[in-house]
Structure 1
Amino acid sequence: MITTITQFRLPQPIALDEARRIFLSTAPTYQGVPGLISKCYVLSEDGSTAGGVYLWTSRAAAEAVYTEAWTRFVTDKYGTAPVVTYFDSPVVVDNVAGEITSDR
């Protein structure tokens, strides 16, 4: 499994209510994405940085989404280009499902 963290510094800080409205407007586009296990939208406490934490089945699945078109969409939506960082996630604890998952 792979975790990615996307971050982008906003041109102007936004309030949590505005972030929630924006995030809810894009959330449906991530439903049913092949290989995407979960996405958590994030906003820094000062409202100046936004992004997401994604859990993927594989790096290939993540790279299939982080295309030039996706980068343009995020840049157009938020006014700044995203930075994507990849992490291996060999073990995941899911307290909602009551499971511990390993990639092997």
Structure 2
Amino acid sequence: MIAALVLFPVPAGTTMEQIKEAYELSAPRFTGMPGLLSKHYLFDGAGQGGAFYVWSTRADAEALYTEEWRQSLTQRYGAPPTLSIYEVPVAIDNAAASRTFS
């Protein structure tokens, strides 16, 4: 499993509602994307946005993070994104865990 963290600046004064609207417009592009297990959009409320992705394989992740992708985000947000890719040796998913207690 692969995790990727993408961060980019957003214009000063951007509100949660504005960033949510922008993210919702992009979300359909990722629905059903091969190898993408989940995507979590991020916003710190102070000028930085991004996303945390979980991928099946590094090849799946690298298929998205092309020079065209970088240029598109740079044009949209005015600065290039940062991209960090990590191997995930261990994961915990409490939402999917099923527990029963006596």
The TM tier, using the shorter chain, reads 0.7 to 0.9
- Greater Rg by CA: 2
> For residues 5-49 of structure 1, what are the alpha-carbon distances to aligned partners after superposition, in whole Å with 9 as ceiling and x for unaligned?
000122434111101000000011111111110000000132x01
Runs of 4+ in structure 1 deviating by more than 6 angstroms, as ranges, are none
Residue type at the aligned position of 1:95: N
Aligned Cα RMSD in Å? Answer: 1.5
Residue type at the aligned position of 1:65: L
Identity %: 35
User: How many equivalent pairs are there?
Assistant: 98
Higher strand proportion: 1
Give secondary structure in 2 for the equivalent of 1:91.
coil
> For residues 82-104 of structure 1, what are the alpha-carbon distances to aligned partners after superposition, in whole Å with 9 as ceiling and x for unaligned?
110011111222222217xxxxx
Tell whether 2:66 aligns with 1:96: no
Shift of 1:51: 0.4
Tell whether 2:77 aligns with 1:78: yes
TM-score (normalizing by structure 2) = 0.87
In structure 1, stretches of 5+ residues that fail to align are 100-104
TM-score (normalizing by structure 1) = 0.85
In structure 2, stretches of 5+ residues that fail to align are none
Asked if the contact 1:13–1:49 (Cα under 8 Å) also holds between the matched residues in 2, the reply is no
Q: Give the equivalent residue in structure 2 for 1:54.
A: 53
Q: Give the equivalent residue in structure 2 for 1:2.
A: 2
